[in-house]
Structure 1
Amino acid sequence: MKINHLTSAEENLMKLLWKLKSFYLKDIMEQHPDPKPHQNTVSTYLKILIEKGYLSTQKEGRIFKYQTTVPLEEYRKFLLIELSDNFFNGSGKEIVGFLISENLVSAEGLKGYSIDINPVEKKEPDFKYANEILNPKKEKKKSKDKKKKKKKEK
């Protein structure tokens, strides 16, 4: 499934639609927070989201019932891959390092996650980088201690 980009307005509307999953236009108007957009504006956005493949419709008499077709998790994955490719050279390690350096996630918070291996490869995981990320200060201390020992030996 190819996922298309959303504008910020489309994305904000989709956040509500993902919560509703299946809905009518009147449901959107009732659930939308204030200030509520005009019904014609919402209808226009719904048409755009159908064209982009985010929604499907089913006609029930004279009205349409809408349903989300792209799950929120798929859209989040799409955005994260784009972010990774465009700003972090496609490297998960760079993303995690950035999150830690900006105090957006703590090393303690990462300790509960395990590293999975592709079962086809059947090789041991390399925990060198995980240890660097989880214990950055300890690694720096070790390297400083080694440098001091080398200076003393000379």
Structure 2
Amino acid sequence: MKINHLTAAEENFMKLFWKLNSFYLKDVMEQHPEPKPHQNTVSTYLKILVEKGYLSTVKEGRIFKYSVLVPFEEYKKFLLKELSHHFFNDSGKEILEFLMNEKLISQNDLKGYFDLKIEIKPTKIEEPKFEFADEILSPKKEKKTKVKEKDKDKKKKKKKI
């Protein structure tokens, strides 16, 4: 569905139509805030919005029933994409920076959207073996070990004989 641009006046009428969703001309006249426009003005805007594809009509006797074709959310997406394209080089990052600089959004506002829970599990680290350092730092232990090995070898030889 191709969405067309709206003038400020058309957009104001559409805000009312989005609230009503399905309505008759008399409903618009009743719901429009003061100062109320003339009925012919409202009829003209209804006709324009039907031509632009925002509204559809169904004839019920001598009157028309209007229904919204373009949801408000779709129109917001269209406007944001246009804004992004024309003023921010299609960059969400630039939009976000602008909103932050203008204090229209805060870091606290973003926390709820970007609450990334990164779980870092500790890895098992093998302790390094310092064989040469051990020999240098505790040569006595090695000597005892060597002496014990020699004793075992002697005992084995005696048993064999």
TM range (shorter): 0.7 to 0.9
SS in 1 for 2:79: helix
For structure 2, the residue ranges without an aligned partner over 5 or more in a row are 116-161
What amino acid maps onto 1:93 in structure 2?
A: K
Residues 1:11 and 2:11 are matched in the alignment: yes
SS in 1 for 2:58: strand
What amino acid maps onto 2:92 in structure 1?
A: G
Residues 1:39 and 2:33 are matched in the alignment: no
SS in 2 for 1:58: strand
How much does 1:62 deviate? 0.5
Which whole-Å CA distance do the structure 2 matches of 1:50 and 1:57 have between them? 7
Which whole-Å CA distance do the structure 2 matches of 1:22 and 1:106 have between them? 38
How much does 1:105 deviate? 0.5
Deviations 1:60-92 (A, max 9, x none): 010000000000000000000000000000000
Which whole-Å CA distance do the structure 1 matches of 2:86 and 2:14 have between them? 24
What amino acid maps onto 1:28 in structure 2?
A: V
- TM-score, normalization by structure 1: 0.74
How much does 1:114 deviate? 3.7
Residues 1:75 and 2:69 are matched in the alignment: no
SS in 2 for 1:28: helix
Q: CA RMSD in A?
A: 1.3
Q: Where in structure 1 do 4 or more consecutive aligned residues deviate above 2 Å?
A: none
SS in 2 for 1:47: helix
Asked which structure has the greater CA Rg, the reply is 2
- TM-score, normalization by structure 2: 0.70
For structure 1, the residue ranges without an aligned partner over 5 or more in a row are 116-154
How much does 1:57 deviate? 0.3
Deviations 1:102-129 (A, max 9, x none): 10110110110149xxxxxxxxxxxxxx
